[in-house]
Chain A
Amino acid sequence: MRLTLNKIVLLLSTISALIGLAFLGWILITLIAKGLSSFHISLFFKDLIDGGLRNLIIGQFIIAGIASLIGIPIGMLAGIYLQEYGRGKFVRLIRDLSDIMMSAPSIVIGAFVYAVVVAPTGGTSGFAGSIALAIMMIPIVINTTDNMLSLVPIELREAGMALGASKYRVILDVIIKAAKVGIMTGLLLSFARIIGETAPLLFTSETSNYFSLDLTEAYPSLTVSIYNLANDPTSASRDLAWAASFILTILVLLINLVGRYITRHKG
């Protein structure tokens, strides 16, 4: 009886796992089939206005990069505060709020940034997009930093202090180093998370057909352009959208792989 039950549970969980994998495979196969047929290396060298994706890829990285420049320091410092300095109810409140923020719908964050940045400044801009992505990123970075620091044994802090180091020196010299690999991985994964986002950019940075370094105007974005191209009736646009989706997926996959590599080989 017990053995039969064991076999049934094993069978059911195997099937469920296969269903999950099947969908992942399906997505990848569709992307590769449709994306690869429209993919051409020249897409990397032409801007959207000329039928390429160069400005969109660079733009997406710049928006996400600036979001990281805002989000990583704030998130890490907040994480350090939660784990190393804060105490009591206030810390629990911030942790809870940060967790809620992590599951906030991204379109809501986009709408919020539209209301507080885009509307007052008179138009969409790359900066507004970066701010929206930074807001998405901060709770993820807080969570990662907080968790990774909590894994560092308390004895290491005491050992540092017992050598005469002040608290901030121990945190900077010892604790962050001890948690470095975990934090680095977390930062990469949070970057991978925001670089594929569309909703927060939809009405903050919008997108542009041209290459641009001016972050005060509508800014080229790969994801928003995928959305626009997919809605375009011409088949050339839709093919370009598939190629862009393919490239985006590969990029996110690569960042994830680098993150995993770091964990495995430097941990």
Chain B
Amino acid sequence: MPIMSIEDFSFTYASAPARSLNNINLPIMKNSITALIGPSGCGKSTLLRSLNRIHDLYPGNDYEGRLMLLNAQTQEMENILDIKRENEFIALRQRVGMIFQKPTPFPMSIFDNVAYGLRIAGIKNKTELADRVEAALKGSALFGEVSDRMNKSAMGLSGGQQQRLCIARAVALKPELLLFDEPTSALDPISTAAIEELIVELKKDVSIAIVTHNMQQASRISDYTAFMYLGDLIEYDETEKIFLNPKEKKTEDYITGRFG
């Protein structure tokens, strides 16, 4: 079952003369990992960043089509492009979390980092905050490493730990969908392996979309793969099929390393 359904979706940047995404149709399946791959400039990050409407930080961008997100309560699909009010955006971003390419710890303590979104969401009760921070850190395989220095600055953590902290920060809000934008491209191989393991672990509770330029990573962790090229979705299928038996010539050329 899809948690999100991208329908006839196009996107144009404010300053761009032409569309960056052309008529994309793509499901993001529930409790699965969907990888978006393709060469630089293919629009994979642009698409990912549409799914929580983080583009709206910058004015003048143009969305067309529908981005239907499953409402867990009503089991109905709702178009997130209809969102206009501030409190609706806040609710959307609590449901659809995002992890960035570079770790983005805030200049505050480890605890306050993970509690940040929770406090924004209006949770003030200290026991509840502490419980949810601990649960999020455990869920992100970081608790054991930081339990004795929760009040120390998060800036002192290693790059890999910082990235897991950012995952914990997003997980703390119990999102339904998590968006990963090349989450390991700034990390060493050991930290990368830890993050990949964590992402696979997370799909029990949350649906995941991940942008990666690392095809091995896509084949290792994802259940579905979408290959994009120059703003078009070329092919979408189960990851195994995309990598072993692609239907499109372009997909084959890309995954065999002929371009990109």
- Which residues of A are at the interface with B, using a C-beta cutoff of 8 A? 87, 153, 155-167, 169, 173-174, 177-178, 180
Contacts and interface: CB of A to CB of B under 8 A. Distances in A.
Given A178-B107, A180-B107, A162 B102 contact: no
Nearest 6 pairs of A and B residues by beta carbon: A163-B117, A159-B104, A162-B98, A164-B90, A164-B93, A177-B107
B187 to A, nearest CB: 15
Nearest to B57: A161
Most buried by B among A156, A164, A169, A174: A164
B130 interface: no
22 contacts: A153-B102, A155-B101, A155-B104, A158-B57, A158-B98, A159-B100, A160-B116, A161-B54, A162-B54, A162-B98, A162-B100, A163-B93, A163-B94, A163-B117, A163-B169, A164-B90, A164-B120, A164-B121, A167-B57, A169-B120, A173-B106, A173-B108
**What interface size band does chain B fall in?**
20 to 34
A178 B116 CA distance: 15
Interface of B: 52, 54, 57, 59, 86, 89-91, 93-94, 97-98, 100-102, 104, 106-108, 116-117, 120-121, 166, 169-170, 173
B106 A177 contact: yes
Nearest to B102: A155
A85 to B, nearest CB: 11
B55 to A, nearest CB: 10
Nearest to B106: A174
Contacts of B169: 163
A150 B238 CA distance: 43
A207 B59 CA distance: 52
Contacts of B102: 153, 155
